[in-house]
């Protein structure tokens, strides 16, 4: 792999990678949207649960004219999902680089980026991440990877080493918990700076299924962020359960973040 020193070099590397791994019909749809610069981040504030102050920005990939659809709702091949995770990380670096060049250091918002651990253990993903460590460490220092783990990831020998590399280079390291039935204890071994949870507390059954997670978090004294909080009532419940941060539509509507693609710039230069 050539050195990915610039944003342009990273973009063209990912463009070729995404094209190479088009498998399903939906992969093709997403690749066409990518070429039209129609796959972009939606940015939503993560707030302190008590003060209400914005602490971080949460980034997720969206698709459509108004960025209304998650790209992961499509029937994507596993490798395409990995490619999109890497593209999301690239966009996060562009956003932090823009902030570094525009704002006073005290005004830079650190960004939280959900990403599969499997995407980073995948050979192209691991090479891409090491290029970031080598050439874009200053921007990555404002990124907070929010790792999504599979049971297999916990048993892979490379996982522990990679987690420590990420922790050394990133602003912080978060992990995501989604399914109430997950086995939680292995997460504690990685000593996360934060656990991010997405859940609902609407019914008695929802609240009961959530209690084992809360016991796990309290046992290990882990801080956690509540995602998809839909109302003040839900926020109050999360605070009672120990949430330190939250994000949700009731306080902040996600805003689309777009950067000019290098395909567009290259085409203009050829005119």
pLDDT digits (tens, 9 = 90+) for 173-224: 999 987 666 688 899 999 999 999 987 777 777 777 788 888 999 999 999 9
Low-confidence ranges of the chain (pLDDT < 50): 265-271
pLDDT at res. 206:
75
> In whole angstroms, what is the distance from residue 152 CA to residue 155 CA?
5
Q: 25 is written with which tokens?
A: 């019909």
> In whole angstroms, what is the distance from residue 169 CA to residue 155 CA?
23
Determine contact, residues 59/94, Cβ cutoff 8 Å. no
> In whole angstroms, what is the distance from residue 63 CA to residue 66 CA?
8
CATH of segment(s) 7-270: 3.20.20.450
pLDDT at res. 178:
75
Determine contact, residues 153/175, Cβ cutoff 8 Å. no
Q: Bridge partners of 41?
A: 61, 257
Determine contact, residues 63/39, Cβ cutoff 8 Å. yes
Q: Bridge partners of 257?
A: 41
> In whole angstroms, what is the distance from residue 75 CA to residue 78 CA?
9
Q: What pTM did the predictor assign?
A: 0.93
pLDDT at res. 244:
98
Q: Bridge partners of 246?
A: 47, 226
- Write out the H or E segment, with its range, that includes residue 248: none
pLDDT digits (tens, 9 = 90+) for 46-67: 999 999 999 999 999 998 765 5
pLDDT at res. 210:
83
Q: 165 is written with which tokens?
A: 């590399």
Give Cα 30 to chain centroid, integer Å: 18
Burial classification of residue 242, based on how many CB atoms lie within 10 Å of its CB (0-12 exposed, 13-18 middle, 19 or more buried): middle
Q: Bridge partners of 47?
A: 54, 246
- The 3-state DSSP class for residue 259 equals coil
Query: Following CA atoms 100, 44, 80, 125 in sequence, which dihedral angle do they give, to the nearest 10 degrees?
Result: 40
pLDDT at res. 268:
36
> In whole angstroms, what is the distance from residue 80 CA to residue 73 CA?
13
């Amino acid at each position: 792999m050539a050195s990915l020193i610039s944003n342009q070099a990273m973009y063209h590397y990912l463009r070729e990678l995404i094209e190479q791994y088009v498998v399903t019909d939906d992969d093709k749809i997403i690749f066409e949207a990518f070429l039209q610069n129609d796959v972009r981040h939606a940015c939503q504030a993560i707030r302190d649960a008590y003060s209400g102050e914005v602490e971080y920005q949460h980034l997720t990939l969206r698709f459509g004219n108004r960025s209304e659809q998650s790209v992961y709702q499509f029937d994507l091949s596993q490798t395409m999902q990995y490619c999109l995770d890497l593209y999301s990380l690239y966009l996060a670096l562009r956003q932090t680089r823009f902030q570094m060049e525009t704002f006073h250091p005290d005004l830079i918002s650190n960004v939280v980026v959900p990403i599969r651990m499997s995407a980073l253990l995948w050979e192209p993903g691991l090479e891409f991440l090491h290029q970031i460590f080598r050439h874009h460490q200053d921007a990555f220092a404002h990124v907070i990877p929010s790792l999504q783990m599979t049971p297999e990831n916990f048993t892979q020998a490379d996982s522990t080493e990679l987690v420590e590399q990420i922790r050394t280079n990133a602003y912080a390291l978060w992990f995501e918990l989604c399914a109430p039935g997950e086995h939680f204890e292995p997460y504690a071994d990685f000593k996360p700076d934060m656990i991010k949870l997405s859940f609902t507390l609407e019914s008695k059954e929802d609240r009961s299924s959530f209690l084992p997670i809360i016991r796990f978090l309290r046992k290990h004294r882990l801080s956690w962020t509540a995602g998809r909080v839909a109302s003040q009532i839900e926020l109050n419940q999360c605070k009672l359960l120990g949430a330190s941060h939250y994000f949700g539509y009731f306080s902040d509507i996600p805003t689309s973040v777009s950067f000019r693609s290098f395909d567009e710039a290259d085409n203009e230069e050829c005119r």
